[in-house]
Structure 1
Amino acid sequence: MRLGISKALQIHAQLQVRMGVHSGPVSGITDVNDQSNVAGAGINMAQRVMDCGDAGHILASKRIAEDLEQYRQWRPYLHDLGDCEVKHGVKVHLFNLYTADLGNPAVPEKLKKATHPANRITGIRFFRKPARIAVGLLLAIAGIIGLLLFAHHASQKSIAAGGTAATPTTARRIAVLPFKPLVPENRDQVLELGMADTLIAKLSNSREIIVSSLNSVRKYGGLEQDASAAGRELQVNSVLEGNIQKVGDRIRVSARVINVSDGASLWAGTFDEKFTDVFAVQDAISQKVADALALRLSGEEKSRLTKRYTDNVDAYQLFLAGRYHHAKLIPTEIRTAIGFYKQAIDLDPNYALAYFGLAEANRCLAITSDVPSKDSLLACPRPRRPR
């Protein structure tokens, strides 16, 4: 694909483009504009590889070169450049990918300035692992991917025909959609998404039901979102939706569970309480949902369904604000989230979820920005005692 792009760019000589190729972990995210995007260590390393090149270069990491070396037709185009030092002193082993017509055969300026013997292109070093093993693995992976795609295609055809995806009766599925405001002019997206986030965590304690993750449902927070349509797209059996509004020191919540297949209401309830009783409201909704779905909960599961990680409402609100900004996975937003998590910990030094959020946010900084991993780990304080 990179060679194809390079060829297409030849007719636009004014466009100076360099490319970096690497394979590694990548996660699907929803960015600040509520658009689907990707982030992860794989992308960050590809950028580091790219930064070592000049205009026209197609640079590949050693991991990519080892994969391509298994194919005879790629071997003549891979040229070993040796190590290149990138940010934080990390060294990346690079290969220059070029043909007689495509790519840039010159040694990158960054490598010319380096004082190591790998400044010349010496040709790829062949690896000992037999090619037939790699080819066998690739064929096996291709077969698995093909089966998964076929199953997904069949499922999508079923949904398009108006039905829901078939699920075993022992693995019922539910989606908790972001709550909507009772009065659109008084939206509180932190509270709306936070209520869904908390209920997702509570309901996930049951082994009898599979609950869609927050990342998969957050895009269904529109005011005009149809719950049944969202349920069909998410391939679940039922959907929990609701409205929430905080006015002064009071909170009003209405919630209902609907059956995706026919839109029938399985349960509905309204709560009008002081905001300090928000935890009791969440406990009540969780129990009502479990009853409506006829979940057979063990004693331990019932206990976890109403477990509270803090009794401090102010700390809880700060934690929700941290989760809201953290989920956007943008460095500036993650740093904002870290501030909220720290404030929550200051109010409740035993708030385990806030410590977890702080640790995750610092870990994400190491992936999405230029903060070294060791610095991120040192930024996470230890809780006084487990709760």
Structure 2
Amino acid sequence: MIDFELPDDVRALRAKVAAFIDEHVLPAEPQVGTRPFFDIVAELRVEARKQGLWAPFIPVEYGGMGLGPLANAVVQVEVGRSFTYLAAWAMNCMGPQDATMLTLAELGTPEQKERYLRPLVEAEKRICFSMTERAAGADATGMRTTAVRDGDTWVLNGEKWFSSGASYSDLALVMARTDEEGPRHRQFTTFLVELPNPGYRIVRDIPVMSEPFEPSFEGEGTMGHAEVRIENLVVPHENVIGEVGGGFATGQLRLGYGRLRHGMWSLAKAQAALDLAAARALERETFGKRVADRQGVQFMLADCAEQLYLSRLMIMHIAYRAERGLDLRQENSIAKNYIAHMLHNVVDTALQIHGSLGYTLDTPLAAWYVEARQQRLVDGPDEVHKWSIGRAVLKAYERHGTTASATGGDLF
């Protein structure tokens, strides 16, 4: 039997989260830019914690809701309806901090969790992830930042690029090369660094094409993408996350959740864009006829509906596999690529149906269009994922005489 119905407890949780967003978050969004952002967040957090809607994916023993992948996927699609990211901040599940917190929850020692995870869950501290380097780009195994053992400490030297949120963080997970000679995927280790630290210097926040939202008040910021210089950064051995040589796997664990979360939030944004497109098509008339009655426009909307449907199925299937501890690397790469393009296509279609109005800032579509472009780069660019997907297809055929296992064939 194949059952696509959500369990009763997950349905109830979804309704509770949706009500919180509808009744508290969305009415607060017009205030963004008119008063300090974190004053708004603080007020919403009081209500979120009162309702038990806090750190959805963090284990209960560390102060979170302890949700599994399926329940969290459903919650995150609702969270994604808040386009100033107020819902994510209110519930303490904002990216990219969420995936880094999850990494610490999964791989940290009991001592590390008590010392570092608890204040993160309590929203007393913030954390970032420093893996990407300018020269290496998407090739995590090409990073040149080094870590050399010196007794009970490690000394790190190198540079990092696009360390999102680093300028506002109290902690950083930093990946560095600890072995030049070992197997390629065992040459790296992840370290937890307390900030500020003179050895971890923010050079600048890199100007980007667009930030989807940045507060208006001086001295207050939510994100930024930092260029970092690491010079003689001393880290205690006890701050190794996972095991020495396990850094690549640590990074993939973190990126895996990030890719899935991007997909869940993209679903919400694409659905909102399609709703705007349908509303505009129904209300607008040209040459004596509703735009909605033109077959070409109906075809455009049909393409969007198809892509949204497939994206929902992908997200739910990946959540299903994650619930059961199954390997989801191939499925996650396929979904990451497909959903990034889906979001771009749906927002572009909605913008087109709005005509010149869509190109203005009188609707959110222009800002969403610019933001959607980054989804084809973050957590691995299209080409790297396609390369990985294609190799898996070939390996499947070599092993089994069919490519089915690399194309969802375990379903039937």
Asked whether the two chains share a fold, i.e. TM above 0.5, the reply is no
Larger radius of gyration: 1
Q: Relative contact order: is structure 1 or structure 2 higher (C-alpha 8 Å, sep ≥ 6)?
A: 2
Structure ranking higher in helix proportion: 2
Q: TM-score, normalised by structure 2?
A: 0.23
Q: TM-score, normalised by structure 1?
A: 0.25
